[in-house]
């Protein structure tokens, strides 16, 4: 096993390591994999490999693995009648309690609540809505969501667009503020706690509730970290939705749920 990653390694070497790591995790996601297992497979120290994956994907290897498992679990919850315990075991968790707690932290609703969401979406289609942050005296962020022609073709017509501020560069857990908009165009987020947040955006296919709740990894936008100050306006921020690169971390948060729960 290597002693670490050469700081002068070419981008192609990093891409190869990331591809090998994410492929290994995807192929063995239902197994009790450890960071040491992954590091041994690609031939790097666990410490350096973890830093490289986090820099490339925005999440550490075990966080990436958890995202794969939750993405799989969401589809099983919506397409099978298996119990939550059975699904927990099927995707690689050994404790139903731990699975349910971490699922809610990452996705938003509990597994049982998530399973009921398609019926709620079918009865009341997700509509444009802005979810403010928790501070009335918080900051405000305005800007524009755009989408490339390639990403728009991948998503299809009639998509809903979501833009939100997250603590990490991945759509995991509840955003500090967010909005669903009817199409590319202006957005406004308000009540934002002071801090530095990642501005992310995505497009949800209009092909049905399952695809909206477990969207294919087709398109994603990341405008980077945005500094927000209490009571101040940050404006003219543009985030462009592009085709997702290979091996991107799956979005785990149930975006339609963020809107429905405001009813």
Mean pLDDT, to the nearest integer, of 95-108?
95
Structural domain includes residue 5: no
Q: What is the pLDDT of residue 39?
A: 96
CB neighbours of 181 closer than 8 A, spacing ≥ 6? 128, 145, 160, 161, 162, 163, 187
At residue 262 the predicted structure's pLDDT band, cuts being 50, 70 and 90, is low
Residues 248 and 216 in one domain: yes
For residue 237, being part of any structural domain is answered with yes
Is there a domain that residue 3 lies in? no
Of 29-38, 97-106, 173-182, the range with the lowest mean pLDDT is 173-182
Predicted confidence at residue 250, as pLDDT, reads: 84
205: nearest Cα among 214, 195, 193: 214
- Do residue 143 and residue 201 come from a single domain? yes
Residue linked to tokens 């063995």: 28
The predicted-structure confidence for 59-100, as pLDDT tens digits, reads as follows 999 999 999 999 999 999 999 999 999 999 999 999 999 999
Other CB atoms within 10 A of residue 1 CB = 12
Q: Judging by DSSP bridges, how do beta strands 219-228 and 195-204 pair with one another?
A: antiparallel
Structure confidence at residue 247 (pLDDT): 82
Range of the domain at 130: 126-260
Give me the residue label for tokens 């403010």.
132
For position 130, which CATH number holds? Answer: 2.60.40.1120
Considering the domain architecture, whether residues 65 and 133 belong to the same structural domain is answered as: no
Q: What CATH number did the domain enclosing 49 receive?
A: 1.10.10.60
Q: How many domains does the chain have?
A: 2
Clarify whether residues 134 and 94 are in a common domain.
no
State the sign of the Cα–Cα–Cα–Cα dihedral 155, 153, 178, 124.
negative
- Give the SS3 label for residue 100: helix
Lowest mean pLDDT among 72-86, 211-225, 246-260: 246-260
User: Which pair of structure tokens corresponds to residue 37?
Assistant: 């297992």
For 159-216, the pLDDT digits (tens) are: 889 999 999 998 888 899 999 888 899 999 989 999 999 999 999 888 878 888 888 7
What pLDDT, in 10s, does the model give residues 116-152? 988 877 665 555 566 666 667 789 999 999 999 999 9
Q: For residues 215 and 251, is the Cβ–Cβ distance under 8 A?
A: yes
């Amino acid at each position: 096993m290597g002693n670490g990653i050469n700081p002068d390694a070419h981008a192609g070497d990093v891409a190869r390591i990331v591809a090998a790591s994410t492929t290994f995790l995807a192929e063995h996601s239902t197994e009790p994999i450890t960071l040491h297992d992954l590091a041994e497979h690609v031939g790097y120290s666990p410490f350096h490999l973890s830093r490289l994956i986090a820099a490339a994907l925005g999440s550490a290897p075990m966080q990436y693995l958890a995202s794969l498992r939750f993405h799989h679990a969401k589809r099983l919850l919506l397409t099978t009648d298996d119990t939550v315990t059975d699904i927990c075991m099927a995707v690689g968790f050994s404790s139903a309690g731990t699975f349910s707690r971490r699922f809610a932290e990452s996705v938003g609703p509990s597994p049982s609540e998530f399973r009921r969401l398609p019926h709620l979406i079918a009865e009341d289609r997700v509509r444009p809505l802005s979810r403010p942050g928790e501070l009335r005296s918080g900051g405000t962020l305005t800007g524009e969501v755009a989408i490339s022609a390639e990403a728009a073709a991948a998503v299809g017509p009639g998509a809903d667009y979501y833009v939100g501020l997250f603590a990490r560069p991945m759509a995991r857990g509840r955003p500090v503020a967010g909005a669903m908009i009817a199409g590319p165009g202006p957005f406004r987020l308000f009540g934002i706690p002071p801090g530095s947040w990642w501005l992310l955006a995505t497009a949800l296919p209009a092909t049905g509730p399952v695809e909206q709740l477990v969207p294919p990894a087709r398109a994603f936008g990341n405008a980077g970290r945005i500094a927000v100050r209490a009571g101040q306006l940050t404006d003219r921020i543009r985030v462009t939705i592009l085709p997702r690169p290979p091996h991107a971390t799956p979005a785990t948060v149930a975006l339609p749920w963020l809107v429905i729960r405001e009813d």
